[in-house]
Amino acid sequence: MMHAYPLAKRPTRAGFTLIEMIGVMVVISILFAAAVPSVVNLIRTQRSIDDRAALPKIAAALKLGMLREQRFPLDMNASIAGTDADADYWWNLATRHGAGSANEARYPLGTIPGEANTRKLYFAKASWGGQSFFEITGDGSTWLADPLDPQELRLLLVSTTNPDLPLADVLTNTQFNAFWNNWAVGSDGNPASGDWPDYGLSKEQWAGRAPELNIERIDLREWLSTVVIENRRAIAEASGAEFTESSPSYSGTSLLDNWELGSVYAYTENLIDTEIVLRRAEVTDDSEGTAYTQVNGLDLAKRGRVIDESKDVLIQISGFKTVTSGTPPTNNSTKATGEFELSLTDRAPLALISSLSGDSPLALSGWGNADGPIQNRYFLKTQELLLGEPWTFAEVGIFTITDNFSTLRFDGLQWHY
């Protein structure tokens, strides 16, 4: 008797064969290889966009810091200086005035602090770096090569988010101007004007990658302030000064002689707004009983202002005197005159005040007696001028430069501003 046995169940296969796994990995690798450049480019593009958006904020903080602290920052583009170094470095100045941390100001997003590729600050006139407005502008007359075209008042903030694209630590003036005037990105990824060396960059390293460079122009020319200063010379003698015949500046007929009654008077030449008092008295000649006017002197009650500094400034006395002459003697009325010549001061003193404690004010040159009384001077906003009076050189006021155009005037009596 034969028995029937069920056939054994063949086990079900699970998983992948080695060949299948290799095939899947090949497909994934192909897809990954195709996707990675796009992802990397996307990341680079986004970082560059973020960097471009950050530069105006940093530039605004730099401008605010320069204006408030009245100094230009140290550029220090070499990477050897840490962000905690000198407080005058540009990134620390920007940090103090709203640019975030020093690392945020100095290093683009994606750049590890300490790397060589940092943001760079360039000056149109590199020698200004680290100096105060006070040190730069001096007397306001020679610090700009051309006050009508102040090219010196420009800075560039330059950045890239890619560490394989080095930036120059120093730009020549030609390279600076190429960036300022010509920089634009062409459709081929190169500068739209000029070649890479024109901008101080390596063509081999930067070719086709101009979009990865971001620049921010920092124009300070709006800070240029023109101050028209009118500085007139003043009368040296103080108000209330007494003049008598013995005064060294007196010349002419004797004051003490008797003048015909009511005929003598005094007036000024080349002066306005002056007040003078003629000291005179009526006297009687005992021998003849004739009344005369006697002049004892003159007082300058108010200085007044000089009209024309190139001409003499005089107080004139004029009148008539009775002169006896001839045989037989006769009395004749003769006009008589005398004058006091007044001396003038040097021009009123002006000085530039330093924002740094301990620095003495710097006197503005060019205000000698032979210099023109009206001059244009050029300063930066927020600077201050110390004003003095010409008689004792006492300080009488401070003029703060707040407008692009302002006037400051000493009229021979006082300052107007």
Q: pLDDT tens-digit profile of 182-206?
A: 999 999 999 999 999 999 999 999 9
Q: Is 7 inside a domain boundary?
A: no
What is the mean pLDDT of the segment spanning 81-85?
A: 79
- Three-class DSSP category at 154: strand
Distance in angstroms (rounded) separating the CA atoms of residues 409 and 348: 10
Find which of 43-57, 225-239, 280-294 is predicted with most confidence, using mean pLDDT.
225-239
Q: Which of these, 108, 123, 113, lies nearest to 57 by C-alpha position? A: 108
Q: Is 401 inside a domain boundary?
A: yes
Q: Is 310 inside a domain boundary?
A: yes
Q: Is 12 inside a domain boundary?
A: no
Amino acid at residue number 70: Q
Residues 364 and 326 occupy one common structural domain: no
Reply yes or no on whether the pLDDT at 36 is more than 70.
Answer: no
Q: Tokens 């971001």: give the residue.
A: 214
**Is the whole-model pTM more than 0.85?**
no
Residues 184 and 264 occupy one common structural domain: no
pLDDT in the model for residue 27: 77
Q: pLDDT tens-digit profile of 121-132?
A: 999 999 999 999
Are 406 and 361 spatial neighbours (Cβ–Cβ below 8 Å)?
Answer: no
Q: Is 15 inside a domain boundary?
A: no
Number of domains present in the structure of the chain:
3
End position of a domain, from candidates 342, 364, 393: 342
What is the mean pLDDT of the segment spanning 195-221?
A: 96
Distance in angstroms (rounded) separating the CA atoms of residues 206 and 73: 29
Q: Is 40 inside a domain boundary?
A: no
What is the mean pLDDT of the segment spanning 174-182?
A: 97
Are 95 and 106 spatial neighbours (Cβ–Cβ below 8 Å)?
Answer: no
Residues 193 and 64 occupy one common structural domain: yes
Q: Find the largest Cα–Cα distance for the chain.
A: 203
Residues 56 and 120 occupy one common structural domain: yes
Reply yes or no on whether the pLDDT at 406 is more than 60.
Answer: yes
Residues 246 and 103 occupy one common structural domain: no
End position of a domain, from candidates 318, 342, 366: 342
Residues 316 and 361 occupy one common structural domain: no
Residues 210 and 275 occupy one common structural domain: no
Mean pLDDT, the chain, rounded, equals: 89
Q: Is 6 inside a domain boundary?
A: no
252 alpha-carbon distance from chain centroid: 53
Q: Is 38 inside a domain boundary?
A: no
Residues 199 and 317 occupy one common structural domain: no
Residues 212 and 264 occupy one common structural domain: no
Residues 336 and 391 occupy one common structural domain: no
Q: Which of these, 298, 397, 413, 276, lies nearest to 344 by C-alpha position? A: 413
Q: Which residues form the domain of 380?
A: 227-232+346-416
Are 140 and 385 spatial neighbours (Cβ–Cβ below 8 Å)?
Answer: no
What is the mean pLDDT of the segment spanning 3-13?
A: 58
pLDDT in the model for residue 17: 77
Distance in angstroms (rounded) separating the CA atoms of residues 37 and 34: 7
Tokens standing for 234? 């003043």
Q: Higher-confidence residue: 14 or 231?
A: 231
Residues 263 and 299 occupy one common structural domain: yes
Lowest-confidence segment of 69-73, 111-115, 133-137 by average pLDDT = 111-115
Q: Give DSSP secondary structure letters for 234-264.
A: -BSSPTTEEE-TTSTTEEES-SSSEEETTT-
pLDDT in the model for residue 276: 95
Residues 60 and 142 occupy one common structural domain: yes
End position of a domain, from candidates 296, 317, 342: 342
pLDDT in the model for residue 109: 82
